[in-house]
Structure 1
Amino acid sequence: MGGSKLDVPLVTLNTGYKMPIVLFGTYKITGQDAIDLAVDTALDAGYRGFDTAKYYKNEAEIGNALEKFLPKYDLKREDIFLITKFPPASNTEATGADRLIQESLENFKTSYLDLVYVHYPKADERANDDPENFANRRDAYLALAKLKDSGKIRSIGVSNFVLRHFQEIPKYSSVVPAATQLEYHPHFTRNDIRKYCKEQGIYFQAFSSLGRHHPDLIGDPVVAEISQKHGVNPETVLLAFPLSQGIGIVPKSSNPDRIRENFNAIRFKLSQEEIEKLNARDKNKYYISRAHGWEVL
């Protein structure tokens, strides 16, 4: 990866490829000007990876911004880790994966994607209890596995899947997911999934580590105690919580100061005692309204 004022630590996926432990999240950042500012600031701060999805509708803008700003920081495509996600399709004859991935390659102006997730365990238009959900997510995963063999995708994974969805995968594919991305913070520690992923060699990546700034999480007494003890803000404590356990994060912001502040959380390390105190705050409480993978049959 390219150099920076503070080099971001790398993790090695089960495919052998290396991924930054911190990537820049781009959810709800739209419009070329906003994307340009965010990408320029992120590269300057030290981010060397970007996380997006079909659902975010900003791949092309990110591709334009990377084309514009990578040379400014003496970086090339291979210095950057790109993640996108696509949903299962509701038709069983074709997932549309070939078309969607080709579209992403063109949007990013690249010949390969570093990691692609199946974004959710069902198609958008299907009900949670639709009996076709299994077939749709299976077909989406198998299509990604095929594209991985073609070289267009280096690693594949699943997002918002719960334990039973993970346990289905070996029944239809020999390809173990390289990574997963889930809501994760001290109020929602996903212990069963983390245990399974560790056993299977699946890298665990957290999204919404700040719980959309929900006051119950930001104002948690243990978070406040650690924050005051070290003279850092609660957000830094919450981002350091996964990082100190080797869990990746994808913090998002369109505010330049916050973008830099989020990246600098990698400088702050929690003690084992502090990690245990925060883990003990688990309430099985989620703050992201859309990410209810556990409701999907």
Structure 2
Amino acid sequence: TAVAYFIEAEVGQAVRDSGIPRDEIWVTSKLWLQDFGFEPAQRAIDVSLQKLGLDYLDLYLIHQPYGDVPGAWRAMEAAQKAGKIRSIGVSNMTPKLWQQFVPEFTTIPAVNQVEFNPYFQQTELRQLLAPHDVKLEAWAPLGQGNQSLLNEPVIQQLAVKYGKDAGQVILRYENQLGIIVFPKSVHEARIKSNLDIFDFDLTPAEIAQLAALDQGHGQ
């Protein structure tokens, strides 16, 4: 969830209604632009926890890295030390912005959540993240349903070979790269399909074929 999605209360209610122990559910939220700065971010974190009805967040991200990012980050570090947040990270931080802000941080982000799919493989950013073991989380891991991507011949060929659909091939590729993926769906069958990717392994040659699809930019 995120402040900008206006669904924190609903997500918190769903967590409580699920009957699943809290420590088995991962909850992420994001700080929005109007709350950047140290004191505004401190207040926003408390408001998010109140709306969610939770004692802590598993992950909290800076949603867009503009404005008083250093102040917001200090507030997130303080909240982490206070036990309100388990891990802190950033979102949509390009290589340029990463190099601008992160050297000034006391704590290296655990995560950078960005657009990632076979057409936009974030090569430069991944090279910056790797030395610090920062995880890349992918939004739009299936290219937001881009039919050109889903119908790429190599993806279709691999789908036939492994008895999977195009989306499963893409998600497995990203998983084997160590990318954390968040495919979006409201359909139960599709959600189950997106999880059914762990019974096959792409070969190094196949991974190289999929890497060659990179166009170096997003939509």
TM-score range normalised by the length of the shorter chain: over 0.9
Matches within 5 A, 1:182-221: 182-221=114-153
Moved more, 169-178 or 109-118: 169-178
Bigger RCO of structures 1 and 2 (CA < 8 A, at least 6 apart): 1
Residue 4 (structure 2) pairs with residue 55 (structure 1):
yes
Are 1:80 and 2:12 an aligned pair? Answer: no
Contact 2:162–2:200, Cα closer than 8 Å, also in 1? no
Q: Does 1:64 align with 2:13?
A: yes
> In structure 2, do the counterparts of structure 1 residues 189 and 152 end up closer, same or farther at CA, with 3 Å as the change threshold?
same
**Cα 1:110/1:210, change in 2 over 3 Å:** same
Q: Taking structure 2 as the reference length, what is the TM-score of the superposition?
A: 0.93
**Cross-structure match for 1:142:** 74
Other-structure match for 1:105? 49
1:25-44 → structure 2 map (5 Å cutoff) = none
Percent identical = 31
**CA distance in 2: counterparts of 1:114 and 1:160, whole angstroms:** 19
Q: Distance in 1 between matches of 2:148 and 2:39?
A: 40
Residue number among 201, 204, 211 corresponding to 1:279 in the alignment: 211
Matched residue type, 1:68: D
Residue ranges of structure 1 left out of the alignment (5+ in a row):
1-51, 123-132, 288-297
**Would the alpha carbon gap of residues 91 and 243 (structure 1) be closer, same or farther in structure 2, given more than 3 Å must change?**
closer
- Going from structure 1 to structure 2, the CA distance change for 1:265 and 1:85 (only over 3 Å counts) comes to same
2:36–2:72 CA contact under 8 A, matched in 1? no
Task: Give me the whole-angstrom Cα distance separating, in 2, the residues matched to 1:159 and 1:109.
Answer: 24
Pairwise CA distance, 1:60 = 1.0
Kindly indicate whether the alpha-carbon contact (under 8 Å) linking 1:89 and 1:95 is maintained by their aligned counterparts in 2: no
Which runs of no fewer than 5 residues in structure 2 stay unpaired?
A: none
Task: Return the offset for 1:250.
Answer: 1.2
Q: Secondary structure at the match of 1:266?
A: coil
What is the letter of the counterpart of residue 277 of structure 1? Q
Deviation at 1:121, TM superposition (A): 1.5
Alpha-carbon separation, structure 1, partners of 2:65 and 2:150: 29
**What does the per-residue CA deviation read over 1:76-133, in whole Å, with 9 as the maximum and x for residues that have no partner?**
11111111111233775x55212221122123222111110101112xxxxxxxxxx3
* 1:129 corresponding residue in structure 2: none
Cα 1:266–1:57 shift into 2, 3 Å: farther
Match of 2:167 among 231, 235, 250: 235
For 1:86, the aligned partner's letter is: L
Structure with more helix by fraction: 2
What is the CA–CA distance in structure 2 between the aligned matches of 1:91 and 1:119, rounded to whole Å?
A: 10
DSSP 3-state at the match of 2:148? helix
